[in-house]
């Protein structure tokens, strides 16, 4: 795996499956941790007369709703999930970086990001350099097996693209207009809560 500019949190998570982890000199990585972002706007909505009348099957069905106060018990429920996912992240890092003890990883895994040199010093990456160097280093590994008759390895690059879809099969199933959904998007843009392996400054 080669980090270009950013490979923090989830980017670092998936890189652990690789035999070697490399980083460009200006790469940012680390951010070993889990975040569950929530915003509560109940007090503000109360002031303008907007009430949440959601009907649920249990006290915790609407846990994390931005329009309802969260109880201490609900906070504990969500924190327990974050903690569980965090321990899994640490276990994954330990499996991919066997030279680091779990205690060392826990010290590094407080959510902070690291520069490429810091990551190398702490054992989170194997080397710092440039893409062509790493391709050459990978093909020289004892266990590397390239396709017969092919001198250069196949390079796979993952990127996040904002360009238009290439075809209709890349699009999600179209949904009919729904007034409640439209209002929610207008009042609470991006409010769908999820657990993330993500660095979001």
Catalytic residue set = 9, 61
Among 14, 196, 10, residue whose Cα is nearest residue 96: 14
């Amino acid at each position: 795996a080669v980090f270009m500019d950013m490979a923090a949190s989830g980017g670092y998570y998936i890189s652990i499956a690789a035999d070697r982890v490399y980083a460009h000199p200006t790469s940012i990585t680390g951010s070993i941790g889990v975040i569950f972002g929530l915003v509560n706007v109940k007090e503000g909505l109360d002031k303008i007369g907007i009430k949440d009348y959601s009907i649920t099957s249990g006290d915790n069905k609407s846990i994390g709703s931005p329009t309802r106060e969260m109880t201490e018990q609900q906070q504990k429920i969500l924190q327990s999930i974050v903690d569980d996912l965090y321990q899994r992240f640490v276990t994954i890092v330990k499996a991919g970086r066997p030279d680091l003890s779990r205690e060392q990883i826990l010290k590094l895994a407080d959510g902070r990001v690291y520069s490429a040199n810091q990551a190398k010093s702490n054992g989170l990456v194997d080397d710092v350099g440039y893409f062509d160097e790493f391709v050459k280093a990978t093909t020289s590994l004892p266990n590397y097996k390239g396709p017969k008759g092919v001198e250069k390895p196949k390079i796979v690059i993952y990127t996040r693209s904002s360009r238009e879809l290439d075809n209709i099969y890349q699009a999600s199933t179209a949904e009919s207009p729904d007034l409640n959904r439209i209002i929610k998007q207008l009042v609470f843009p991006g409010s769908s809560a999820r657990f993330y392996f993500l660095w979001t400054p």
